Amino acid sequence: MLRANYNWSLADRIDSYYQRYICGDYCDLKTKVVITPLTCSLGGATGNPWSNKGKKRSPVNIQITELPLLKKARPWYDEIDSTVLQQNLRRLDNAYNNFFQQNRGFPKFKNRSTFHSFTYSTGVKIKGNKIYLPKLGWVNFYNSRPIPDGFKIKSVTVRKKSNGYYVSVRIEDKAVPTFPLKNIEEVKTVTGLDMGLGKLVYCSDSSAIDNPRFATNKTTKRLQKIRQRRVSRKKKKSNNRRKSQKQLSGFQHRIAIKREANQWQTAKKIVQKSDAIAIEDLQISNMIKRCKPKYDKETGRFLKNGQSAKRALNRLIADASWYSLTQKIEYMAAKSGKIVLRVNPRHTSQECSVCHHIDPDNREGEKFLCTNCGHVDDANFQASINIKNKAINHYGLNVGKKFSKKVRRDLPEPKQLSLFQTPTSELTENKRRKHYALLSKRDVPGNLNEYAFQLSLFNQENNHPNRDSL
């Protein structure tokens, strides 16, 4: 019923747009009937765009005041709590606001697979392991987190997920002060973050956080493939297909909750590092776009466009889910009174942090070698330092040391030891061999991993134009 209401209200708003702005006063375009409250809610007598106080009413408010009329026409809506119906309309309004302000897509009509939640704004009570949902009654549930004393329930959302129904409760206590917000002048330390795939986060203090790859590691990729195949081989709309689909979505749900938990821990670790955190303002949806198709001009046939390789990369990027990680960092930062600074990502991976020379040739894969001053570093850490410096310059921060301690990097000596924080006794056989190979400066066989590339960084055999001046 809520889905029908949502879709009807969306159609109502679309219709009203056409009659108001394009077709004059006609309500029904086919019959050319003039606007009446019977045919269209937004244009009729009760759908007055002006409130009693003389202010212009928003479309969502018009639709909410129309609800009693709608309920008369559709008596079965009485089974739904009135606040749920109202929140349903607000949800549609949010979709419209996202479309106008956030540059997102136009609101869509919902089908069964895209509509699985509803929200109460009042009337919900919780007692021990029971929750009272208006019009549904007392329901047993698992009370995972008791509500602290003095807090009032503001709104409650019931959401259907693959393994059951979840309730999220928003609470408020006006006596509790809001989290303290730091002034930008008080910031003493900044950490720059560069998100990557080899490691999930590279910090400007030359530490890195591992990428757990919950969905794209070898085991889960294989399992996912098997379960997906089980679904697609079954007859459409059959019970067996539904069952195997349920298995698949449960599997994906478990991956998702693992990733969520890991991201909260990562965000907490990062926020503890310093007063402010600088991150790139990335447009990730642009990075995940498909390659453009290529045609042969004579035959009109499709040519290879590199999409199959891009797809693997896209999946890696989606699995790393940088955006939801940055959201969690922002949340944790706000909670602990710290600041998140957004930085323009332009040139962050091409600039030299020592002489500020910008050149796309500076970077070659994971290596960074400045074509101007010969500064050598890991490209990802270089980017994180650039992000930090950009934040300092852009926001005019009063940070004591502008750059991290200068280390002579022209010698092939340590630095890489910071990457080996695990003692050698804990390394696996394979890794230990690579570890010793690196220490003895032998070449490491196998594919390009962090050990191998560290070696090649300091090989000093780069065909570099300014090599003599190094």
* Neighbouring-strand partners of residue 126: 131
Task: Give the number of other CB atoms < 10 A from CB of residue 400.
Answer: 6
Helix (H, G, I), strand (E, B) or coil at 378: strand
Q: Rounded to the nearest 5 degrees, what angle is found at the Cα of 452, between the Cα atoms of 447 and 454?
A: 145
Contacts with 381 (C-beta within 8 Å, 6 or more apart), sequence order: 194, 202, 204, 206, 208
Picking from 412, 217, 459, 197, the residue whose alpha carbon sits closest to that of residue 317 is 197
H/E stretch holding 120 = strand 117-120
Between CA 377 and CA 383 the distance in angstroms is: 10
Interatomic CA distance for residues 99 and 105, integer angstroms:
6
**Residue 432 DSSP SS3:** helix
List of residues contacting Zn ion (CB under 5 A)? 352, 354-355, 357, 370, 372-373, 375
| Residue the block writes with tokens 């086919």 | 30
Rounded-to-integer distance, Cα 195 and Cα 205, Å: 14
Q: For tokens 């594919």, what's the residue?
A: 447
Contact 97, 126 (CB under 8 A): no
- What is the spatial distance between Cα 164 and Cα 257, in angstroms, rounded to a whole number? 14
Instruction: Identify the CA nearest to 375 among candidates 209, 128, 185, 386.
Output: 386
164-172 vs 152-161, strand pairing mode: antiparallel
190-195/276-280 β-pairing: parallel
Show the tokens assigned to 214.
């919950």
CA distances (Å), 426 to each of 237, 381, 421, in order? Answer: 51, 26, 10
CB 258 within 8 A of CB 264: no
Of 173, 75, 86, which is closest to residue 134 (Cα–Cα)? Answer: 86
Cα–Cα distance measured from residue 420 to residue 144, given in angstroms and rounded to the nearest whole number: 39
What are the backbone angles phi and psi of residue 137, rounded to the nearest 5°? 90, -170
Element spanning 3, H or E: helix 2-21
**What are the start-end ranges of the E strands in 173-305?**
190-195, 199-203, 208-210, 276-280, 294-295, 302-303
Phi first, then psi, for residue 96 (nearest 5°) are: -65, -45
